[in-house]
Structure 1
Amino acid sequence: MSVVQPAFAGDWLSHYYEHPTPERFVTEVKALSKSGYLSNPQSASMISVFLARVMAANPAQVDGWLGQLSDLKGGDRESLLFAASLSGTKEAQAYLGRQPDAEKYRGKPVDISALEPNNPTVLDMFWADFFATGEAAPVRRIVAALNYDKYSGALDRYAKSEKTEKDRNDAVLEAVFKAAAWSLESNARQHRRVGEILEQTYFLGALTQPEQVWLSAILAKAMPEKYEFTRSEADQWTFKIKATEEGKTGWRDSAGKLIGETVSMKSRDDFSGWLLATTDDDWEKKWNTSPDTTPSFNKADAVPYGKKIYILPIFANPKLDQQGNANVRCDLRVVAPTGKVSFERKDAICAAGTMEGIPYALRLSTQAVAFSGDPDDPPGTWVVEVMLRDVVRNVELPLRTSFELKRQ
């Protein structure tokens, strides 16, 4: 599998998605040619997919790259031109159209994402796609191969079978299942991004029973500090999220270390809340980015009259009731420097119903409020208070933040 293929041992290929360096394209392709991996049937397909994704992301460079590599021969040339075809770029199509064997590359390029993960080569192609892009889709296609667990034992049976076409196909599918499970676990250990994708895939649901069971086992093996997968005396498997470090729960920094509580950021009984006041007019656009991206907001500090302040209650890991629904409510009020309550809302619904995704993902309350100082409002320190309640867990988090209203 690609996780251990020597061709993917270098940082340029196996970690390209983390630090894209397309300027190394020609040099690296020549190195792959010299090493024999570019023409090796065992590695050529996945390398072609990888190169295709790099070309697709850099169409303006494609013609120049292909021109500089025009001296490649035989299998090396075929792998490179196949990659150009897969890229789907007009620049690649124009170059291919000038080749003596142009007819071979005419027509719609192969859609790799539509391939069934029913042989090891396709799995390697999906991993190559991921290594080039860091996207979740190819990893999720590999997860689908876990459904081949129903062919378990086919490899052992094949040795004693009549070796019919069905016997052979069943054995191949068991091999694909084992390769998929092993490579998902191994890459989740080595690539944080793979682990995140597997967590998102698991907690988003919509998995088949084999996918859910085997993904539980893979997560527990790849991230034993976070998950456990155990068998009960009744021979039932149980997947659990482990308690956080030393049994503590709470907000953590990007390195996973616990952050001390503040008046605006608290946790209790595994329920977390954060009250943010920001002056970012594009806060909604920032929030609605990919789940893989952590948005950065400018905290409201000294704010001029007329400038909008957006009050955003944020929470994580609400407890679900027996029907799988959350019930988070909040009281919210804005208090002027004089002590007068300028705005108040009580027992408002912050979140209700099913919660998609990872339990510990940050979630924005439905009670986002926009506020701005009117000319007759007093200058000084304004206080925002929110009581965030996880009704199912019976936990309350009193949160508080402030900003300074100043005349220009």
Structure 2
Amino acid sequence: MKVTLSLIALMLPISAFSGWVDNSGKPIPDTPSMRSAGDFGAQLILTSSDQEFRKVWNASIGTPKLQTTNHIKLGQSIAGVIVFSGCAPSPANTCNVTADFSVQNPDGTTTLAGNGPVWLKAAPKRRIIMLGDASITLGFGKDDSPGTYKLIANVTDKVTQQTLMLALPFSVSK
């Protein structure tokens, strides 16, 4: 399995609230891929192209129509991106959010897959969902094993020391 960590800085704000809520303002329960702790929330999303996902996110007004996936074939790649909201600002009004990525293989073993900054700049306005800078692309060659994998991202707000463990399964077939 080939792993590439890309750090690309593009952003587009979308409305959000304390934790995750639906369009009517009702709280959405945490899921393995979307968690919150107080105002800090993060979601792991899988897509076939990190670059295309960012392009659509950046060009959208309102809610973007984003392509996501949870299945690829050997010879293809899948990318994980993180959206977040509510990072705590430091005294200098900057956030320090990072992600540590790993992959759980079909045999149950876990492989470290890299880390990077999700947000190391001025704190976004309150109630805004941001596309994080850190992402990961996993490539699967013809010699890799088909099966169900799980991408794991431990997203940490370094100012508050809160860590949200996000996990999202995906399948790889021949």
What is the TM-score normalised by the length of structure 2? 0.81
Letter in 1 for 2:30: E
Contact 1:269–1:395, Cα closer than 8 Å, also in 2: no
Rounded Cα–Cα distance in structure 2 between residues aligned with 1:301 and 1:268: 26
1:319: how far off? Answer: 0.5
Structure 1 stretches (4+) deviating beyond 4 angstroms? Answer: none
The aligned residue for residue 324 of structure 1 is 93
Unaligned runs of 5+ in 2: 1-13
Q: CA RMSD in A?
A: 2.0
Rounded Cα–Cα distance in structure 2 between residues aligned with 1:349 and 1:304: 29
- Does residue 351 (structure 1) correspond to residue 109 (structure 2)? The answer is no
Secondary structure, aligned partner of 1:287: helix
The aligned residue for residue 65 of structure 2 is 296
> Once the two structures are aligned, what percentage of the paired residues are identical?
25
Rounded Cα–Cα distance in structure 2 between residues aligned with 1:374 and 1:343: 18
Secondary structure, aligned partner of 1:318: coil
Letter in 1 for 2:78: I
Q: Deviations over 1:263-296 (max 9, x none)?
A: 0001102100101111256212111124x42123
Rounded Cα–Cα distance in structure 2 between residues aligned with 1:289 and 1:257: 28
Q: Which protein is bigger by CA-based radius of gyration?
A: 1
1:359: how far off? Answer: 2.1
Candidates 313, 331, 338, aligned match of 2:82: 313
Rounded Cα–Cα distance in structure 2 between residues aligned with 1:371 and 1:333: 10
Letter in 2 for 1:334: V
1:343: how far off? Answer: 4.6
Letter in 2 for 1:398: M
1:255: how far off? Answer: 2.5
Letter in 2 for 1:319: A
Rounded Cα–Cα distance in structure 1 between residues aligned with 2:103 and 2:76: 16
1:361: how far off? Answer: 1.5
Which is strand-richer, 1 or 2?
Answer: 2
The aligned residue for residue 161 of structure 2 is 394
Secondary structure, aligned partner of 1:384: strand
Secondary structure, aligned partner of 1:368: strand
Secondary structure, aligned partner of 1:299: coil
Contact 1:384–1:400, Cα closer than 8 Å, also in 2: yes
Unaligned runs of 5+ in 1: 1-199, 201-243
The aligned residue for residue 4 of structure 2 is none
Q: Deviations over 1:10-29 (max 9, x none)?
A: xxxxxxxxxxxxxxxxxxxx
Contact 2:79–2:137, Cα closer than 8 Å, also in 1: yes
**Bigger relative CO (Cα 8 Å, ≥ 6 apart):** 2
- Does residue 272 (structure 1) correspond to residue 48 (structure 2)? The answer is no
- Does residue 405 (structure 1) correspond to residue 172 (structure 2)? The answer is yes
Q: Deviations over 1:61-94 (max 9, x none)?
A: xxxxxxxxxxxxxxxxxxxxxxxxxxxxxxxxxx
Alignment of 1:203-214 (within 5 A): none
Rounded Cα–Cα distance in structure 2 between residues aligned with 1:382 and 1:302: 10
1:299: how far off? Answer: 2.9
Contact 1:327–1:391, Cα closer than 8 Å, also in 2: yes
1:336: how far off? Answer: 1.5
- Does residue 370 (structure 1) correspond to residue 151 (structure 2)? The answer is no
Secondary structure, aligned partner of 1:312: strand
Secondary structure, aligned partner of 2:26: coil
Alignment of 1:166-315 (within 5 A): 249-280=18-49, 282-290=52-60, 292-315=61-84
Which is helix-richer, 1 or 2?
Answer: 1
